[in-house]
Amino acid sequence: MKRIALPIAISLALCTTLLVSYNAQADRPFILPGMTLNSGNAPLITFDAAVGENLFYFDHNTLSIDNLIITAADGSIVKPESTALGKLRNSFDLRANLQGTYKVSIVNDMLIANYKENGAPKRWRGSAENFAKEVPANAEELQVFQNQSRIETFVTNGNPNNTALKPNGKGLELQAISHPNDIVDGEPASFQFLLDGKPVAGVKVTVIAGGARYRQKLGEQSYTSDADGKIKINWQGAGMYWLQARTSDNKAAIPAAKERRASYIATLEVMPQ
């Protein structure tokens, strides 16, 4: 019996190690600002967009900035400066000409279809407008879902304000109860999640502090939004944090899509007391 138990124990330990390693090195997209709190006359703020195996490290792939939207402190849309496309990160600068808070977002909305054509597996991605033109009407074993994603961060010049934080009413969004540039360690922060502009219950939220490569445990925190779409986060110290929220429903853009998957990601900085 002992000779049998030992290989089983070794196998279980190996499986556990692989699972921990996989969880610790999952691919996580983020927008990382050089500084979230700034001051002065039109400070220049730099950003990196990437997909990291370790949070806030450029060790895996770039994050496309084709659908980058920068909302200024007065609610207007402004363009980035000095865009640079790299192999592990894409970078850009923001000239914060106004006092207040800027919202920096990458927003995507697409359909994903899996099907067979003459027995061969096919995968298609694109807009709802192009679906009917590019996917065969008689596609075999057709499976379609809509994927909406929003990746954000926030920076402030001077005193924070809320104008840029107004939700757009499309997809999964974060409604700031606690201002995202006024978060302090030791003080819980409250946020509300909206789906198409309305509070949504049951959103699964994961919060991870940066610097995980120097910890033995990933240390993720899990939350679920309440009936009003709200969560309250207790921070694990000062530093940069990655927040991811996910939900799904059957309200896709076209009848062929049976499911809509909506995700939201934010990079937040927690300041020390």
pLDDT tens, 160-219? 999 999 999 999 999 999 999 999 999 999 999 999 999 999 999 999 999 988 888 899
CB 246 within 8 A of CB 222: no
DSSP secondary structure code for residue 191 in this structure: E
3-state helix vs strand vs coil in the chain, percent to 5: 15, 50, 40
Position 11 pLDDT exceeds 50: no
d(CA 218, CA 213): 8
- 230: domain CATH number? 2.60.40.1930
Is 239 domain-assigned? yes
Is 190 domain-assigned? yes
Range of the domain at 194: 23-110+143-270
Is 92 domain-assigned? yes
Q: What are the helix and strand counts (H, E) for the chain?
A: 2, 19
pLDDT digits (tens, 9 = 90+) for 16-44: 443 333 344 578 999 999 999 999 999 99
Is 134 domain-assigned? no
- Between the alpha carbon of residue 158 and those of residues 140, 176, 200, 271, the distances in Å are 57, 18, 32, 16
Is 125 domain-assigned? no
Q: Give the chain's radius of gyration (CA, Å).
A: 21
Residue 63, classed as helix, strand or coil, is coil
As a whole number, mean pLDDT of residues 87-109 equals 97
Sole residue written with tokens 């000062």? 238
pLDDT class of 255 with cuts at 50, 70, 90: confident
* Number of separate domains in the chain: 1
